[in-house]
């Protein structure tokens, strides 16, 4: 099944210039067997040479194998082989017997293993035959035989043709060999097993290692989600990495201020598993806009899983920066090495206007007592073609007066700022003494009135 989910997300969609955000990378993986049901027959040697610790260690290894398959199929050791997979037990000495059929009960499988006793010769051909007969030819499940033996064939016909027929029918054969009292021919195991030999045959001279061999084989059969994972994350140059939280699986380290490498030895080997890495990045430029978080992200593992991550982006809001006065163009000067002084004419420079402030006074005529007045001033600049360009608008409230009759009200110091870069009047560029031409329009009316519509309720402040 491999990698079942991959994700990358950020904790906010908008940050200020120089702000930080949290980035989260997540993975989930599961063994292949959890989605591809497999029928497995454990074929166990109980010949006389297995008496004592070899038989005890073989039993422990077989039960460990069963537990691993139990967990790999449904994510927990719940005593039941899940999602359509099954295990059967065949044991052999002078002849072979079915100790169980293909079943899902872990307890029944382990009881069958525990009931085995050593004695008799070694009939591999009959063992293979009994295992093959256990499979349903109409089943779509993958079919696997795990042959364990500690010695050479001493009874029955040659097993090679039987094993070859099984492989021809699509059955996968694994072999575990214990170098017992009468020895074992590794080349024979290689001939029985499916190719390649390196992943389908394991041999040990020490029966204490049998549990580990069964354990490794169970992981191999269940096809782990991913092993030796390496993720290289390179973030956008607009950001730097400020901190990295230890991941829930594996190890992560910064290789530079823009790069993180996350390594995980294994994920989803025996059950569904997830892993998460969190790190923080900070915006470091003055550029606003939508920014991709990562420049690149690459993934690799030993199983060859292909993984794609989302490509989140964040909106960066920076303050608007205005540079109203650019630096003057430099004049290049050279002073020779042996000169103590020099007089150089660098030409002309001009005073540059910073703009002007236009201050207006206006008299509003005949303002009645007890009435506030709203006053608006609209200023435009006139270019050489008579076209007007807006230069601003001011609105002012003139407070009510308490005189007995109407009075004129003088409004003073209405100011407009007129930067020189807005000059459209037609003079020299950047000259201080250009004439500029403006038009001012005034609008005034009473705010307060005695008129009321019959349905209106108006509050006079």
Spatial contact of 204 and 175, defined as CB atoms under 8 Å apart: no
The answer to whether residue 340 sits within a structural domain is no
Furthest-apart CA pair in the chain: how many Å? 135
Q: Is the pLDDT of residue 215 over 80?
A: yes
Check residue 429 and give its pLDDT.
Answer: 61
pLDDT of 287 higher than 90: no
The answer as to whether 328 is a domain residue is no
Q: What is the mean pLDDT of residues 267-293?
A: 90
Would residue 451 count as lying in a domain? no
Residues in Cβ contact with 33 at an 8 Å cutoff, skipping those fewer than 6 apart: 1, 69, 72, 73, 83, 85, 221, 222, 223
Pair 183, 56 in one domain: yes
Q: Supply the pLDDT for residue 326.
A: 74
Of residues 331 and 147, the one with the higher pLDDT is 147
Measured distance CA(401)–CA(411) in Å, rounded: 13
Mean pLDDT, residues 120-149 taken together: 95
In the structure, what pLDDT confidence band is assigned to residue 258 with cuts at 50, 70 and 90?
very high
Angle at 424 between CA 421 and CA 428, to 5 degrees: 75
Question: Cis omega before residue 8 (within 30°)?
Answer: no
Question: Among 170, 203, 222, where does a domain finish?
Answer: 222
49 lies in some domain: yes
Query: Same domain for 179 and 246?
Result: no
Q: Are residues 101 and 139 in the same domain?
A: yes
Averaged pLDDT, 9-37: 90
pLDDT surpassing 80 at residue 175: yes
Do residues 210 and 176 touch, judged by C-beta distance below 8 A?
A: yes
Mean pLDDT of 317-326: 75
Of the residues 270, 287, 317, which one is the last residue of a structural domain? 317
Q: State percent of the chain over pLDDT 90.
A: 67
> In this structure, are strands 142-149 and 38-45 parallel, antiparallel, or unpaired?
parallel
User: Does residue 181 surpass a pLDDT of 80?
Assistant: no
Q: 177 and 55 share a domain?
A: yes
Instruction: Name 438's bridge partners.
Output: 381
pLDDT for residue 86: 95
Secondary structure of the chain as H, E, C letters: CEEEEEEEEECCCEEECCCEEEEEEEEEEECHHHCCCEEEEEEEECCHHHCCHHHHHHHHHHHHHHHHHHHHHHCCCCCECCCCCEEEEEEECCCEEECCCCECEHHHHHHHHHCCCCCCCCCHHHHHHHHHHHCCCCCCCEEEEEEEECCCCCCCCCCHHHHHHHHHCCCEEEEEEECCCCCCCHHHHHHHCCCCHHHHEEEECCHHHHHHHHHHHHHHHHCCCEEEEEEEEEECCCEEEEEEECCCCCEEEEEECCEEEEEEEEECCCCCEEEEEEEEEEECCCCCEEEECEEEEEEECCCCCCCCCCCCEEEEECCCCCCCCCCCCCCCCCCCCCCCCCCCCCCCCCCCCCCEEEEEEEEEEEECCCCCEEEEEEEEEECCCCCEEEEEEEEEEECCCCCCCCEEEEEEEEEEEECHHHCCCCCCCCCCCCCCCEEEEEEEEECCCCCCCCCCCCCCC
Query: What pLDDT was estimated at residue 57?
Result: 95
Q: What is the pLDDT of residues 46-97, one digit of tens each?
A: 999 999 999 999 999 999 999 989 988 887 888 999 889 999 999 999 999 9
* CATH for 300: 2.60.40.680
Please determine, for residue 32, whether its predicted confidence score (pLDDT) is greater than 60: yes
pLDDT at 157 over 90: yes
Please say whether the beta carbons of 299 and 229 come within 8 A. Answer: yes
pLDDT in tens, 352-385: 767 889 999 999 999 999 999 999 999 999 998 9
Whole-angstrom distance, CA of residue 92 vs CA of residue 106: 21
Sheet with 226-235, edge to edge strand ranges: 251-256, 259-267, 226-235, 294-300
Instruction: Name the average pLDDT for the chain.
Output: 90
For residues 25 and 142, state if they share a domain: no
Q: What is the dihedral of CA 348, 354, 355, 361, to 10 degrees?
A: -130
Find the range with the poorest average confidence among 110-124, 237-251, 339-353, 402-416. 339-353
Q: Whole-model pTM above 0.75? A: no
- Residue 373 is part of a domain; what is its CATH number? 2.60.40
Q: Are residues 442 and 306 in the same domain?
A: no
Same domain? 160 vs 192: yes
Range of the domain at 188: 33-222
Are residues 168 and 257 both part of a single domain? no
Whether the pLDDT of residue 457 is over 70: the answer is no
**What are the pLDDT digits (tens) for 291-303?**
999 999 999 998 8
What's the domain count of the chain? Answer: 3
Residue 456 binned pLDDT confidence (cut-offs 50, 70, 90): low
Residues 218 and 237 in one domain: no
Considering the domain architecture, whether residues 376 and 273 belong to the same structural domain is answered as no
Q: Assess contact for 241 and 260: CB atoms under 8 A.
A: yes
Spatial neighbors of 443 by CB under 8 A, at least 6 apart, are 375, 376, 378
Query: Mean pLDDT throughout 141-169?
Result: 94
pLDDT at 328: 80
From 169, 202, 222, the end of a domain falls on 222
Residue 382 in any domain: the answer is: yes
- Is 195 contained in some domain? yes
Rounded Cα–Cα distance for residues 255 and 273 (Å): 27
Tell me what the mean pLDDT of segment 173-193 comes to.
Answer: 87
pLDDT tier for residue 1 given thresholds of 50, 70 and 90: low
Residues 300 and 441 placed together within one structural domain of the fold:
no
Check residue 160 and give its pLDDT: 96
Q: Is residue 368 part of a domain?
A: yes
Same domain, 81 and 192: yes
pLDDT at 346 over 60: yes
Per mean pLDDT, which range of 68-77, 137-146, 227-236, 293-302 is the poorest? Answer: 68-77
Mean pLDDT of 252-264: 96
Q: Examine the pLDDT at 255 and tell me if it is beyond 60.
A: yes
Per the domain annotation, does 303 fall within a domain?
A: yes
């Amino acid at each position: 099944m491999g990698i079942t989910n991959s994700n990358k997300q950020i904790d906010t969609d908008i940050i200020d210039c120089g702000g930080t955000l949290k980035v989260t990378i997540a993975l989930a993986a599961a063994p292949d067997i959890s989605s591809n049901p497999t029928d497995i027959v454990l074929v166990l040697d109980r010949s006389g040479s297995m008496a004592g610790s070899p038989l005890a260690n073989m039993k422990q290894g077989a039960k460990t194998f069963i537990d691993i398959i139990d967990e790999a199929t449904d994510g927990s050791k719940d005593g039941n082989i899940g999602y359509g997979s099954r295990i059967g037990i065949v044991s052999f000495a002078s002849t072979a017997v079915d100790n169980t059929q293909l079943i899902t009960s872990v307890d029944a499988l382990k009881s069958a293993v525990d009931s085995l006793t050593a004695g008799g010769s070694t009939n591999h051909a009959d063992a293979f035959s009994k295992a093959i007969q256990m499979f349903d030819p109409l089943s779509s499940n993958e079919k696997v035989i795990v042959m364990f033996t500690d010695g050479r064939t001493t009874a029955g016909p040659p097993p090679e043709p039987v094993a070859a027929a099984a492989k021809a029918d699509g059955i996968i054969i694994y072999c575990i060999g214990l170098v017992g009292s009468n020895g074992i021919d590794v080349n024979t195991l290689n001939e029985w097993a499916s190719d390649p030999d390196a992943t389908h045959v394991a041999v040990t001279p020490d029966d204490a290692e049998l549990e580990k061999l069964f354990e490794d084989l169970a992981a191999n059969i269940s096809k782990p989600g991913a092993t030796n994972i390496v993720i290289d994350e390179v973030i956008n140059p607009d950001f730097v990495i400020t901190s990295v939280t230890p991941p829930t699986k594996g190890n992560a380290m910064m290789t530079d201020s823009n790069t993180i490498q996350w390594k995980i030895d294994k994920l989803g080997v025996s059950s569904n598993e997830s892993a998460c890495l969190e790190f923080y990045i900070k915006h470091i430029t003055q550029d606003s806009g939508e920014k991709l978080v990562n420049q690149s992200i690459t993934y690799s593992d030993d199983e060859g899983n292909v993984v794609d991550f989302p490509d989140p982006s964040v909106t960066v809001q920076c303050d608007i920066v205005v540079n109203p006065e650019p630096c003057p163009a430099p004049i290049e000067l050279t002073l020779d090495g042996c000169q103590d002084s020099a007089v150089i004419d660098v030409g002309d420079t001009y005073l540059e206007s910073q703009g002007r402030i236009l201050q207006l006074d206006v008299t509003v005529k005949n303002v009645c007592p007890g009435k506030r007045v709203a006053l608006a001033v609209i200023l435009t600049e006139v270019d050489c073609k008579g076209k007007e360009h807006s230069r601003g608008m001011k609105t002012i409230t003139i407070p009510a007066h308490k005189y007995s009759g109407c009075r004129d009200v003088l409004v003073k110091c209405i100011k407009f700022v007129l930067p020189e870069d807005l000059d459209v009047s037609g003079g020299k560029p950047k000259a201080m003494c250009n004439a500029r031409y403006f038009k001012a329009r005034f609008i005034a009316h009473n705010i307060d009135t005695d008129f009321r519509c019959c349905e209106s309720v108006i509050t006079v402040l």
